[in-house]
Amino acid sequence: MKNSLYSKIEAATQANSVLSDAEKKSVFLELRNALEMGEVRSADCINGIWQVNTFVKQGILLGFRIGVMQQFAEISGYGNFLDKDIVPPRHFEAHEGVRVVPGGSSVRRGAFVARGVTIMPPAFINVGAYVDADTMVDSHALVGSCAQVGKRVHLSAAAQIGGVLEPVGALPVIIEDDVMVGGNCGVYEGVIVRAAAVLASGTILNASTAVYDLVNEKVYRATENAPLEIPAGAVVIPGVRMVKGKFAQENGLGIQTPMIVKYRDARTNARTALEGALRHAAE
């Protein structure tokens, strides 16, 4: 499936492609269905290393180029939708085991949503995203285009998991299994949050963020060749780093900086670890 789609998308996206728009649309629809079934993903983890599948993002961009605006019928009483015809909202059936609570949530076609996922309103899951089994997507949460979210993840209210389609070689945001993402967190620009990590409410992570590990006395940053990674089991809270310079010191200025204050172990669940870490930080 993967190799076949790769070849078809490559043929459809070449500058001198001889395929008609109808043939290109057929290629996109095949990719869209494969994404929804979880047969292909925008990124795969091979021996612990996440690698982007550029052909998936090329195929999604192809769909947007050839798609046309369409007015969709009224959905659940929340008004009419206008969007490209190739990515209408998904409709789930009871046998799929996905719980979509009434109140205005939307999942775009081309997103994989596994059995046991709960989506609280209003939330949005974009094309190319992958949301694995038993994950909670809470109110006002966003799972951006091509973002990868693992099993048993909790995306708390207003958590933002950023998306990326261009450049096609850019790694999407990765949230591994058993991660807890607190309310109003933002994870962007290809950041990888490893398994069982905990992000306290208000934590912001992107490619420019430096994360200070108070346990191991290390600093984690993105480089030209590698994204920012939050270690497995790390408990991250918003902290403050003092700014150098006379003016900054005179005015007591600091920059918000995420800090790892402890690591979870097998005996502590996410909420217990977070509460303990916050108490420790406050002492």
Query: For 191-239, what is each residue's pLDDT tens digit?
Result: 999 999 999 999 999 999 999 999 999 999 999 999 999 999 999 999 9
Neighbours of 208 (CB within 10 A): 10
Q: How confident is the model at residue 270 (pLDDT cuts 50, 70, 90)?
A: low
Q: Which residues of 87-112 are buried (b: 16+ CB within 10 A; e: fewer)?
A: bbebeeeeeeebebeeeebbbbbbbb
Choose among 121, 114, 166: nearest CA to 135. Answer: 114
Average pLDDT on 6-19 reads: 93
Cα separation, 272 vs 283, whole angstroms: 17
Which one is predicted more confidently, 115 or 267? 115
Cα separation, 162 vs 176, whole angstroms: 15
Choose among 210, 226, 227: nearest CA to 218. Answer: 210
The answer to whether the CB of 147 falls within 8 A of the CB of 72 is no
Cα separation, 119 vs 41, whole angstroms: 21
Cα separation, 16 vs 106, whole angstroms: 36
List the chain domain ranges: 208-283
Distance of alpha carbon 34 from the chain centroid: 19
Distance of alpha carbon 95 from the chain centroid: 25
Q: Which residues pair with 230 in a beta bridge?
A: 193
Write phi, then psi, for 220 (nearest 5 degrees). Answer: -105, 130
Tokens 């909202």, located at residue: 89
Note the pLDDT tens digit of each residue in 20-70: 999 999 999 999 999 999 999 999 999 999 999 999 999 999 999 999 998
